[in-house]
Amino acid sequence: MHIVIVGAGMAGLTCAQAISKAGHTVTLFDKGRGPGGRISTRRISVNEETLAFDHGAQYFTARGAPFREQVAHWNTRGVVAPWPAAGADAWVGTPGMNAPVAHMAARQEVHFSSHVMGLVPEGRKWRIMLQDGCAHGPYDAAILALPAEQAAAFLGAHDLQMAVHAVAARSRPCWTAMIAFSDRLPIESDILRSAGPIAWAARNSSKPGRDAAETWVVQAGSDWSLRHLEEDAPDVAERLAAWLTNQTCGVSLPDRKCLAAHRWRYAMTRPSSCGALWNRDLRLGACGDWLLGPRIELAWQSGAALAAKILA
């Protein structure tokens, strides 16, 4: 079969990896400029210096045997490394969080900067419509590896039961600030957790394989992010930077080199037990962490589970 996957994050690429190993052809489309999804790494140029921030998921764990095997493979390829500061079982991509996804994407046919707007049935096949008006296909099966809210918009026209699952799995937002300083902040710990409006703050440069520049990622809690969801990014960035500044207890701070914010509308999903969705008659499926829970390992499991359903 020739299968199209909309979304080239962890779930979509895991599904593609298993399907292509079985001898099928897979084509992926993703609206992002590069691999990562919610485990992206943002690079910002400031005065001819490139600063990197893991502005999505901060680390991941490997608890199940299949995913531990996958992580061990990535480790031998040098695309992940342990990060003890976050816990004994914490791993990060190297040199950025998106490294394992980029590693998988390099082995697949992925079209980035390709915003899919429509999924059109054509007999027992599928075509996709891009934002620029171009159509691609036909494909023997279509897979949606998207956040629940985005998947629901596609599924509603074709499979009401799958659409209901997607509508019920609404995500919580997260505002993230990316801050760089000219020198090390007078904060002893590399990680700050659950203080006031903040769910997490970390010295990004403390992760293995990172540059020495003093960079911080500050992520607001979901309740705070929801209350401030529609505020302008520069205003939110200043609010989160002010919170980080307050953690230094009035000590003089080094100059700030960079400040930016990113709004994740679909950050944290509710736990579920669906695993993956597959309509054999329509040859239409869906995978993603919203079908299991808000962890990178669970996104990987969902992609693998959908591939198993298709190959069965």
Structure confidence by residue, pLDDT tens digits, 237-291: 999 999 998 888 777 889 999 999 999 999 988 878 899 999 999 999 999 999 9
Rounded (10°) angle between helices 148-155 and 160-168: 160
Computed over every residue of the chain, the mean pLDDT equals 95
Does position 5 have pLDDT exceeding 90, yes or no? yes
pTM metric for this prediction: 0.94
Of 147, 127, 146, 145, the residue nearest 137 (C-alpha): 127
Structure confidence by residue, pLDDT tens digits, 184-237: 999 999 999 988 889 999 999 999 999 999 999 999 999 999 999 999 999 999
Q: What pLDDT does 272 receive?
A: 83
Does position 55 have pLDDT exceeding 90, yes or no? yes
